Structure 1
């Protein structure tokens, strides 16, 4: 940690959300079994934080429902030994809550970054992750932008760095008709030995897909992870969407494991890609779902 008490007067930061996960489960590490996930970036979702110091005796925020962001502000001030430096936090976000696309993590991280921006403080990604986990109890890996990692969401630690970036992919997403989800209210999945063995295979398969820039391997890994998750947090019409993904030539599907969104993964360089997307959009609309597109 590098600390300076020089103020910029106003701290600003923007954090992008995610579209659920490519894989999520329990993985073997040098510390034993550990829960982890690999996040799928979603730059169309974002949260912007603005922090302005003042002479108040407490931190205040423009939206009282964003209590995790306020907690992150308090924790960050304590971590850098500036508990007496209060101020006003303003959060603006386009991320819907309870969808599994990183609303709270984006708020928390943009808050931490806005605060340290205000005081010209430098924190490592690991330090930021530890603060985020304390604020949220479980956090996504958004504090490592541009890096593909296996992340322990409840410990704030990187379990594995993958060799490079995700290949160029196009994703058609939909928000399924189900109740919004509060991750911390969910009972943690009790994976079987077979599931845990599968996760070890999937993380290797995902790593190979990244190393070889092979979208099909990534699609296989994410689809299997989504199928395992279906035993614990089932998505409506999942089997129909899985069947549809195979018919229209998708590389696979991915889900927000504790959310409501699902994505169809495509390699846009493959033949008939445009036709496949058109067919998928038509079928999704027939199912009364509203598709949207983003790229990786």
Structure 2
């Protein structure tokens, strides 16, 4: 186990109650998700997410040393996974410090919609673990955060590792392969399929045919080459192929229209949330006439009744993450109810 880093003590480090903060970004669904071979040639479920750093969750945790162990209150209510993560993190920190675990108060804020496949629960969980550790004067390594996240929610996205393209075993919380330092440059026109209805990730069936392993290993090699060569066109091909395979489970009625729009405007391809309804059309930022293509894309999505959300990039721009964008649908931020509500989610500016 990688040891945690102890932060330098502050003047009030001996205070009866200590408060820490933590933040975690989200993602925009997956570029690739399927079954892959690990280092021992064993098949493992894994994914590669599409980072989206402009959105996320922030946690504030106040440690109450005299409170009973595991007594954690959460605001807003209903964040069961975040509460579980706080309890696990408190135990982890207490063990590292040689102290008895205690309870505390957790407050979560953020602007992520639930159930669209953007890693909202993982963002909550990671921010929570970081806040708890911060309140105890510790910096937990990503591998430890991943382990706690999987225990808290059953599966986890690799958000604790930052924006590097990683093939990540989501139900084990470990990296199968580091593909490189960054994804190829891309402009992503985001949209919401399925009317923006939430999807319960863990309730989705796991459909993997015998021949799928060879197909996904082929896509893995393609993505590895796309990252190495900064090849946006190849990135788009991988995203589209992975999304098409996932339609056996998700069955988005708009998927044929989405791929047809991508072809008609000269996009590199599409990507989807493999456990949600958020999707994106990928463009090479170096393609001629990009602003015109983006406008045509937004109009085509509108004609098909597919709400466009936010247009962003996989690379940093001087002023903002956003690129010249299409229609943005304003709506509610993340609801304050359970992790995956059964009611319809209003379309946000994701």
Give the TM-score range, shorter chain: over 0.9
Distance in 1, matches of 2:100 and 2:106, equals 15
**Greater shift in the superposed pair: 119-128 or 219-228:** 119-128
Distance in 1, matches of 2:178 and 2:100, equals 34
**Is residue 2:277 matched to residue 1:267?**
no
1:290 to 290, 307, 323: 307
Contact 2:261–2:301 (CA under 8 A) maintained in structure 1: no
2:56 to 46, 52, 57: 46
1:68 to 81, 88, 99: 81
Please show how residues 1-296 of structure 1 align to structure 2 within 5 Å. 1-2=3-4, 4=6, 7=13, 9-31=18-40, 32-54=42-64, 55-57=66-68, 58-80=71-93, 81=95, 84-176=101-193, 177=195, 179-189=197-207, 191-291=208-308, 292-296=310-314
Once the two structures are superposed, what CA deviation does each residue of 1:22-61 show, in whole Å capped at 9, x if it has no partner? 0000001223000000010012321000011124331111
Question: 1:2 deviation in Å?
Answer: 2.9
Distance in 1, matches of 2:117 and 2:165, equals 18
Once the two structures are superposed, what CA deviation does each residue of 1:36-89 show, in whole Å capped at 9, x if it has no partner? 000100123210000111243311111221110000011111122255332110
Q: 3-state SS of the aligned residue for 1:289?
A: coil
Distance in 2, matches of 1:248 and 1:15, equals 34
Once the two structures are superposed, what CA deviation does each residue of 1:111-166 show, in whole Å capped at 9, x if it has no partner? 00011111121322111100000001010000100321100000001000112211
Distance in 2, matches of 1:178 and 1:83, equals 44
Once the two structures are superposed, what CA deviation does each residue of 1:197-250 show, in whole Å capped at 9, x if it has no partner? 110010111110110101011111110000000011111210111111011111
Contact 1:167–1:210 (CA under 8 A) maintained in structure 2: yes
List gaps (5 residues or longer) in structure 2.
Answer: 315-350
Distance in 2, matches of 1:65 and 1:88, equals 14
Distance in 1, matches of 2:181 and 2:57, equals 26
Q: 3-state SS of the aligned residue for 2:258?
A: helix
Distance in 2, matches of 1:33 and 1:86, equals 39
**Greater shift in the superposed pair: 51-60 or 91-100:** 51-60
Distance in 1, matches of 2:224 and 2:81, equals 33
Once the two structures are superposed, what CA deviation does each residue of 1:177-208 show, in whole Å capped at 9, x if it has no partner? 1531111122222x123322110010111110
Contact 1:77–1:83 (CA under 8 A) maintained in structure 2: no
Note the aligned Cα RMSD (angstroms): 1.6
**Aligned residue pairs, count:** 295
TM-score normalized by the length of structure 1:
0.95
Distance in 2, matches of 1:163 and 1:109, equals 23
Distance in 2, matches of 1:3 and 1:27, equals 33
